[in-house]
Chains A and B, each alone.
Chain A
Amino acid sequence: MTKEKIKQIVLDIIAEIAPDEELTDVKPEVRLRDQLDLDSMDFLDIVMELRKQHGIDVPEAEYRELESLDSCANYLLPKFEAAAAA
């Protein structure tokens, strides 16, 4: 697993959750909410899809780690690696 792959996984989930959004120019360092029409319920959907599709659990206290694609990649990489090793 790489950080780039994780960013794509998150983008694929966002494409399902917010199908009206244009995702080709999402800036990885910018907060997702500042460049896309996403609300708190959408972030709950992202958390749920990570759980359903990839077996990744994100505790509520750590939701803020998902604020940008870069932070998603940094935060989720060890979780994906742990899941792969399990």
Chain B
Amino acid sequence: MHPQRVVITGVGLTCPLGNDLPTFRNALLAGKSGVVKFPVRNMGEQAAGVSEFEKTKYQNRKEIRVGTRAGGIGIFCAHEALENAGLDLKDIDPSRIGVYLGITEHGNVETETEVCQLVDHYDEDVKYWTHHHNPRTVANNPAGEITVNLGLTGPHYTIGAACAAGNAGIIQGVQMLRLGECDQALAGGVSESIRAFGIFAGFKSQGALAAHDDPTQASRPFDTDRNGIVVSEGGCIYVLERLEDALLRNATIIAEILGYRINSDGTDYVLPNPERQEECIRQALTNAELDPSEVDLVSTHATSTPQGDEQECKAVRNVFGEDSSTLINNTKSFIGHSMGAAGAIELAGNLPSFEDGVAHATINLDNLDPNCHLPGLVINQPQEKKGGVNVILNNSFGMLGINSVLLLKKFKG
């Protein structure tokens, strides 16, 4: 028996290239980088992706003060997604909306800030430690803040899945809709990681933090001069619905989720495993009942690290071979690595290709690393896909060896 069909009916996002999908898409097609220099505690200016959205659009100033940046990002994206889906909360049962957000980590920003204040100003006396610490740092915080802000009473939680979390949030939403746990899923991912120096310092100690005089060129997947990750913030939340429900209310259907897979390397804390990545891609294709030749566009995870990019390319090459008809791109080259939001944001940037048949490029690719050779790689300039784009495969991988693959199809009824 085939599972119930699930579709995307709304998108809300904030990322370093804009706060709505058309703006983001236009910047991607224009080849514009969103990476800037950003002050990081203890580390000076670093290349980073910053999301500049109107914070008071959906929150009052007290909510912003009490809550977290990740929560604020989530609230902005959730409102935008519902509006984009044409859903008015007055007309729907708030107990039937589920919120499922992927996060790479949560609580680092708030904990660092509090520890630094305690050390710098209060002689480490814990009576100055804020009572807001626990509600700000509980792992469900970003999803929970959305429910508080919108008055939603259905299930909510976050899914910790390192940098595979954006896809994982969407997958969770699909599963909960199929189980009947909710009628609308607000699903995706968020990240506030640029506001924690520990994230940058950790990557630097690992030899995986990007460094470049020009921040717009710091994120350069597949290039011989790539030297690490550009950390970014942002969020992307989708409204997911069962197809029958979406049709019943005459919703605009943006895409259908065809299949997915999450698996584990089972090998290392940090190093990726191309065999398991390949296996994850193949299993997602099997789940979606697709042959690799039916995939028109692959959105790669590549983070601009020397080893990670090479490993993913190996996995993608093994699946898609020398067939250049499957186009391959990378969105981190434009906005850096938005961590728990990455999979969801990168997917969003590619969704308009269902309409215009164009794949945006991977930019900053001046000298292709031969080990990253991919026949269909879209280099520096957007490329039109012959026959249009009907199927997108979205890779998103993370530490501790978590791999996720999502397959989407242009909706044709």
Query: Is B269 an interface residue, CB under 8 A from the partner?
Result: no
Q: Residue B138 at the A interface, CB < 8 A?
A: no
- Interface size for B (C-beta < 8 A) is 12
> In the assembled complex, which residues on chain A have CB atoms less than 8 Å from the CB atom of B132?
41
Inter-chain residue pair count (beta carbon < 8 A)? 23
Asked if A32 is at the interface (CB within 8 A of a chain B CB), the reply is no
- Which residues in window 58-83 of B have CB below 8 A to A? 60-62, 65-66
Residues 8-65 (chain A) with a chain B CB within 8 angstroms: 17-20, 37, 41, 44-45, 48, 51-52
Across the interface, do A20 and B128 meet the contact criterion of CB distance under 8 Å? Answer: no
> Closest CB-CB distance, A53 to chain B, in whole Å?
11
Q: Are A41 and B66 in contact (CB under 8 A)?
A: yes
**Which one of A20, A41, A44, A51 contacts B61 once the chains associate, using CB atoms below 8 Å?**
A20
How many residues in A have their beta carbons less than 8 Å from beta carbons of B?
A: 11
Contacts of B122 in A (CB 8 A): 52
A18 in contact with B127 (CB, 8 Å): no
Q: Is the CB of B131 within 8 A of A44?
A: yes
* CB nearest to A18 among chain B residues: B62
B130 within 8 A of A: yes
Partner of B60, one of A20, A45, A51: A20
Judged by DSSP, the binding face of B is helix
Q: How far is the CB of B391 from chain A (nearest CB, A)?
A: 47
Let me know if A48 and B65 touch, CB within 8 A: no
Q: Are B128 and A51 in contact (CB under 8 A)?
A: yes
Inter-chain contacts of B65 with A (CB < 8 A): 17, 19
**Set of chain B residues within 8 Å of A18, measured between Cβ atoms:** 62
**Chain A residues positioned under 8 Å from B128 (CB to CB):** 48, 51-52
Could you say which residues of chain A place their CB within 8 Å of the CB of B121? 52
Q: How far is the CA of A19 from the CA of B62 in the complex (A)?
A: 6
- A41 x B62 contact (CB < 8 A): no
Quote the shortest CB–CB distance from B114 to chain A (angstroms): 12
B61 vs chain A, min Cβ distance (A): 4
B66: nearest chain-A partner, CB-CB: A41
Distance (whole angstroms) from the CB of A18 to the closest CB of chain B? 5
A12 to B183, CA, bound (A): 46
A19 vs B66: C-alpha distance in the bound complex, in angstroms?
Answer: 11
Q: Report whether B131 and A20 are in contact in the complex, using a CB–CB cutoff of 8 Å.
A: no
Report Cα–Cα, A45/B131, bound state, in Å: 8
Proximity bits, A74-86, B CB within 8 Å = 1, else 0: 0000000000000
Residues on A close to B: CB < 8 A? 17-20, 37, 41, 44-45, 48, 51-52
Supply 23 A–B pairs (Cβ within 8 Å), ascending by A: A17-B62, A17-B65, A18-B62, A19-B61, A19-B62, A19-B65, A20-B60, A20-B61, A20-B62, A37-B62, A41-B66, A41-B131, A41-B132, A44-B131, A45-B131, A48-B128, A48-B130, A48-B131, A51-B127, A51-B128, A52-B121, A52-B122, A52-B128
